[in-house]
Amino acid sequence: MLIGEVARRCGVSTRMLRHYDSLGLVRPTGRTVGGYREYSAEDVRRIFHVEGLRSLGLSLRQIGRALADPAFTPSALVGDLIRRTEDRLKREQELLERLRTIDASAPSGWQGVLRVVELLHGLGSPSAPRRQQAVLAPAEDVPVPAELLARAVLSEPDPNVAGALRWALARAGGDGVASVTPGMSSDNVEIRRRAVLALAEMSGEEATAALMDALRDSDPTVRRHAALASGRRGAIAAVPTLVGMVVEGANDVEAAEVLGTLALDPDRADGIMTALTDQLAAHKADSTVRIRLTQAFAEMPGPLAQGVLRELADDDDRTVALIASALAGVLESG
């Protein structure tokens, strides 16, 4: 079979077949009287073998070694190919995300493109101060895509950089909430914690709804952040978590302040007071918890607080009684 026919049947150009011949990879076993290359059926099979291995990403040199060694085992080489392909795909995915980020910023010129590229490089720096500087640097009137900031927020471990990113994301507008909310569904609890902190700094109904959903999170830290943030927005659903925070001593002062603000609404005050009073009864033997609850009552609206504190001034626990008496005196004098 002459080279032209082999090229048509195998889908390989005559130029490539000559290259295979020069490398010794596939040499035709015969020649015609006129000196033309003549391929046997075995030569054609070898061409198909070469093309099959090329489709896996092997170089011609690797193919030559593989076909020349009868004892060759493909496992190590295939494993290496898998790793190289994964690395290449990762780089390609990073490039795709970078291009999408630039496209989302809708740059009006190359200066805008370069600004986003500069920000991407800065956020990818191993130096926390460099990442923070990249966030806080003047934007030069180039909008930073909320999606880019959200990705950075969800992956940033440094608290100072994370704070700067949340600040920037809260002011970026656009799809900030939509970009960060998927982090609340992550299996990684650290990502959920970062997401709820970011949502806490965002305004609007969508952010509030996401915070309300976070009250059901399996992680207590996520629930506490969500309770403080949603409670400040008037969400009565946050009350059980806030009361639990007072009992547990987890950001109990902040939780009590938020409960006090919620209790300014007369329709909610009785329910909040009942929730706190029930915890007093449930922790009769725990002086530390009762002290925190006593201090929380002092954050309630004046008349409600004074009534409970006067009763607690006669508590069997001497420390609780003294604190309640002192707090009642402060409220009455005020």
pLDDT in tens, 124-158: 888 999 888 888 875 556 667 788 889 999 999 99
The whole-angstrom separation of Cα 2 and Cα 10 is 12
pLDDT digits (tens, 9 = 90+) for 23-33: 888 888 888 87
Give the long-range contacts of residues 310-319, CB within 8 A, separation 24 or more. 315/290, 317/287, 317/290, 319/287, 319/291
| Residue 82: per-residue pLDDT | 85
Say which range, 50-64, 89-103, 218-232, 271-285, has the weakest mean pLDDT. 89-103
Which ranges constitute the DSSP H helices of the chain?
A: 3-10, 14-23, 41-54, 60-68, 74-104, 110-123, 128-136, 146-155, 159-172, 176-180, 189-200, 205-214, 220-232, 239-248, 252-262, 266-282, 287-297, 302-312, 318-333
In this model, does residue 182 exceed pLDDT 90? Answer: yes
Q: Which residues of 67-96 are buried (b: 16+ CB within 10 A; e: fewer)?
A: eeeeeeeeeebeeeeeeeeeeeeeeeeeee
In this model, does residue 270 exceed pLDDT 80? Answer: yes
The whole-angstrom separation of Cα 223 and Cα 309 is 29
H or E element, residue 30: strand 30-31
Query: Which residues neighbour 334 within 8 Å (Cβ) at sequence distance 6 or greater?
Result: none
| Residue 191: per-residue pLDDT | 97
Give the residue-averaged pLDDT of 182-204: 95
Would you say 256 and 226 are in contact if contact means Cβ atoms under 8 Å apart? no
Query: Which residues neighbour 160 within 8 Å (Cβ) at sequence distance 6 or greater?
Result: 128, 132
The whole-angstrom separation of Cα 307 and Cα 277 is 12
| DSSP characters over 77-95 | HHHHHHHHHHHHHHHHHHH
* pLDDT interval class at 162 (50, 70, 90): very high
Give the residue-averaged pLDDT of 232-260: 96
The whole-angstrom separation of Cα 58 and Cα 61 is 8
Would you say 77 and 66 are in contact if contact means Cβ atoms under 8 Å apart? yes
CA 127 to chain CA mean position, Å: 19
| Residue 156: per-residue pLDDT | 94
* pLDDT interval class at 1 (50, 70, 90): confident
The whole-angstrom separation of Cα 224 and Cα 215 is 8
Give the residue-averaged pLDDT of 112-132: 82
Say which range, 74-83, 102-111, 319-328, has the weakest mean pLDDT. 102-111
The whole-angstrom separation of Cα 248 and Cα 279 is 11
| Residue 105: per-residue pLDDT | 66
The whole-angstrom separation of Cα 306 and Cα 324 is 9
The CATH number given to 3-72 is 1.10.1660.10
In this model, does residue 115 exceed pLDDT 80? Answer: no
In this model, does residue 323 exceed pLDDT 90? Answer: yes
Instruction: Using DSSP, state whether 173 is helix, strand or coil.
Output: coil
Q: Is 226 exposed, middle or buried (0-12, 13-18, 19+ CB in 10 A)?
A: buried
Instruction: Using DSSP, state whether 217 is helix, strand or coil.
Output: coil
In this model, does residue 186 exceed pLDDT 90? Answer: yes
Query: Which residues neighbour 117 within 8 Å (Cβ) at sequence distance 6 or greater?
Result: 98, 102
- Closest Cα to residue 204, out of 246, 175, 165? 175
| Residue 165: per-residue pLDDT | 92
